[in-house]
């Protein structure tokens, strides 16, 4: 994982796809995961990259989502997976 703060701010938190989604929303106001490589497996509770993509995009597609609501929705999903 890249721990350089400037890089983390610019590209999202490469250690955590949920943080990457949040950073992407905040900086570019676009609903997506970037880069897709941040959907890493293991301690992120995902079995596959597709699962990571699916849940985040489904959260993104809900109408009238603010950054905070998206972040809360993602945290709820983490809780469901544990």
With residues binned 3-state (H G I as helix, E B as strand, rest as coil), the percentages for the chain, rounded to 5, are: 60, 0, 40
Give the pLDDT band of residue 68 (cuts 50, 70, 90). Answer: low
Give per-residue pLDDT as tens, 3-61.
444 444 444 444 455 555 555 455 554 444 444 444 444 444 555 666 666 766 665 55
Global pTM? 0.33
Whose CA is closest to 59, among 82, 35, 25, 27?
25
**CB of 52 closer than 8 Å to CB of 17:** yes
| CA 81 to each of CA 32, 39, 51, 77: distance values in angstroms, whole numbers, following the listed order | 21, 15, 11, 6
Predicted confidence at residue 8, as pLDDT, reads 40
Predicted confidence at residue 35, as pLDDT, reads 44
Predicted confidence at residue 53, as pLDDT, reads 64
User: What is the distance between the terminal CA atoms of the chain, rounded to a whole angstrom?
Assistant: 23
């Amino acid at each position: 994982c890249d721990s350089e703060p400037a890089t983390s701010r610019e590209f999202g938190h490469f250690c955590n796809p949920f943080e990457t989604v949040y950073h992407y929303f905040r900086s570019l106001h676009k609903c997506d995961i970037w880069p897709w490589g941040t959907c890493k497996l293991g301690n992120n509770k995902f079995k596959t990259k597709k699962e990571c993509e699916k849940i985040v995009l489904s959260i993104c597609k809900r109408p009238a989502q603010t950054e905070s609501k998206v972040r809360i929705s993602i945290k709820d999903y983490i809780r469901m997976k544990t």
